[in-house]
Amino acid sequence: MNVLLFKQIATHMLQKHYGINLTETHFVQDTVVQRELAFNIRPFVALNEFAEDFHHERIDIPDRHRKSLKLTLSDEIQAMTDCIPVHPINSDPTTCVECGSRTHFNLLRERRQIHCCCNRKCLHEFIADEEMAIA
């Protein structure tokens, strides 16, 4: 995860789930995002803390759940697939779509992986899908 991607995902999730813009939050500052990343905090975790601290309520779910329901990793994965391209898994090992370095990945579900670039200057993440490669 890098600053650019964190901001892209946070922008999307803030608008979709809370109806607010990134510019209305402290995540607009690179230094704030860098601090979250230094502690390996993913965007959805950072946004949950932000929403709690500033009493923001979800706009995308019914009233009675607004205060209790937290964002999850799957909300973040959905945001990633909405704002950056999903790539086919067509080579082994898969390389970073931004810089060509090796990636490490976690299986999200069968045939779908989240890849993280091993290059410390890049750290891009993307979703790779096996079914897309066959199609």
What residues make contact with Zn ion under the rule CB under 5 A?
Answer: 96, 98-99, 101, 117, 119, 122, 124
**Beta carbon nearer to Zn ion, 62 or 93:** 93
- Phi then psi for residue 98, to 5 deg, are -90, -45
Of 93, 87, 98, whose CA–CA distance to 131 is shortest?
Answer: 87
Nearer to Zn ion, 20 or 97 (CB): 97
Nearer to Zn ion, 98 or 129 (CB): 98
* Residue 67 CB, nearest approach to Zn ion (Å): 38
Only one residue has tokens 């990945």, namely 105
Could you please report the per-residue DSSP string of 32-82?
A: HHHHHHHTT--HHHHHHHHHHHTT---SSS-GGGTTTPPP-HHHHHHHHHH
CB 40 to Zn ion: min, Å: 17
CB of 119 to Zn ion, least distance (A): 5
C-beta of 112 vs 124, nearer to Zn ion: 124
